[in-house]
Amino acid sequence: MPPDDRRTTLVCLPFAGAGASFFRPWSQLNESLHILPLRLPGRERLIDAAPYREVGEATEGLFQDLVEQLGETHRVAFFGHSLGAVLAYELAHRVAAAPDLELLRLFVSGSPEPCTRRPRRATGLPDDEFLARVSEFAGYSHEALNDPEMRELILPTLRADVELHESYTPSTEQPLDAPVTSIRGTDDTLVDSDAAAGWAKVAGQDFEYVEIPGGHMYLTDHTPALLRLIVSSL
């Protein structure tokens, strides 16, 4: 991107099992944002790389990748859904402390505030029980998991993502020095409204709580509405 391009870079972090390609169509839906999906190892072009299993390690790796891709000084906002929300939160703290980057806002989606731990977990369950629990959490099951070969390919990375998410504890108790928007699907049965609104506890500046029609994975069906919300908040 040219140095004089003052569009905001929206850095996107995916949910468990997903990759950067999920966000690539977003660039066609809104020209006022520069969409930058960060790539996680263990999937897509990084399929042969070991996936992250600990958020601290993931934060360091993703921050270095972000700095390399941004190059010049940039205005940055973050969007993350579910697992991506806690990764975005940790990266936002790093960017807030970086002298050459301007953190505009953190958008967290389908996630309780960082200190919340799930009462029911999927880590360590046998394959069929694990996949059933993950499908229950997400409210949907990816069709690729019905193919035995694809399932064998996807399962190790999905297990690593879930372990990373379920073992997460925040790296700091300090509020984030930036505004925060928490977004939830109105029919989300995994994250209730009180849990999603709990992100107000870590917002060091303005806080906004918004609901969009749909369940936990509302963003797959209501992308234009989500992007309009992001642009209007920025």
Query: Quick check: is 222 in a domain?
Result: yes
Residues whose CB falls within 8 Å of the CB of residue 169, separated by 6 or more in sequence, listed in order: 55, 115
Q: Is residue 115 part of a domain?
A: yes
Least Cα distance to 196 among 111, 84, 86, 85 occurs for 111
Q: Please indicate, yes or no, if residue 178 is contained in any of the structural domains.
A: yes
Domain annotation covers residue 102 = yes
Q: What is the CATH number of the domain that holds 177?
A: 3.40.50.1820
Q: Are 62 and 97 in contact (CB under 8 A)?
A: no
Which domain covers residue 119, as residue numbers?
8-233
- Spatial CB neighbours of 195, under 8 Å, sequence gap ≥ 6: 112, 113, 116
SS (H, E, C) 93-153: HHHHCCCCEEEEEEEEECCCCCCCCCCCCCCCCCHHHHHHHHHHHHCCCCHHHHCHHHHHH
What separation in angstroms does the CA of 127 have from each of 152, 153, 158, 217?
10, 13, 11, 22
Q: List CB contacts of 136: < 8 A, sequence separation 6 or more.
A: none
Tell whether the model's pLDDT for residue 141 goes beyond 70: no
3, part of any domain: no
- 137 pLDDT more than 80: no
State the average pLDDT over residues 71-88.
Answer: 88
Give the mean pLDDT of 71-100.
Answer: 89
Q: What is the pTM of this model?
A: 0.88
Q: Which position has the higher pLDDT, 179 or 115?
A: 179
Res 190 pLDDT > 60: yes
User: What is each CA distance from 205 to 30, 103, 178, in whole angstroms?
Assistant: 26, 12, 5
Is 60 exceeded by the pLDDT of residue 2?
Answer: no
The predicted pLDDT at position 120 comes to 72
Domain count along the chain: 1
The mean of the pLDDT values for the chain is 86
DSSP 175: P
In a domain, 51, yes or no: yes
In the predicted model, is pLDDT for residue 217 greater than 70? yes
19 or 218, greater pLDDT? 218
Q: How many CA atoms lie within 13 A of 38 on its CB side?
A: 31
Helical ranges in the chain per DSSP H = 26-29, 55-70, 83-96, 127-138, 148-166, 193-197, 223-233
Establish if 1 belongs to a structural domain.
Answer: no
Percent of the chain with pLDDT over 70: 91
- Position 2 in a domain: no
Residue 142 scores a pLDDT above 60: yes
What's the pLDDT tens digit per position in 92-104? 999 998 888 899 9
Q: Which residues contact 226 (CB under 8 A, 6 or more apart)?
A: 109, 183, 212, 218, 219
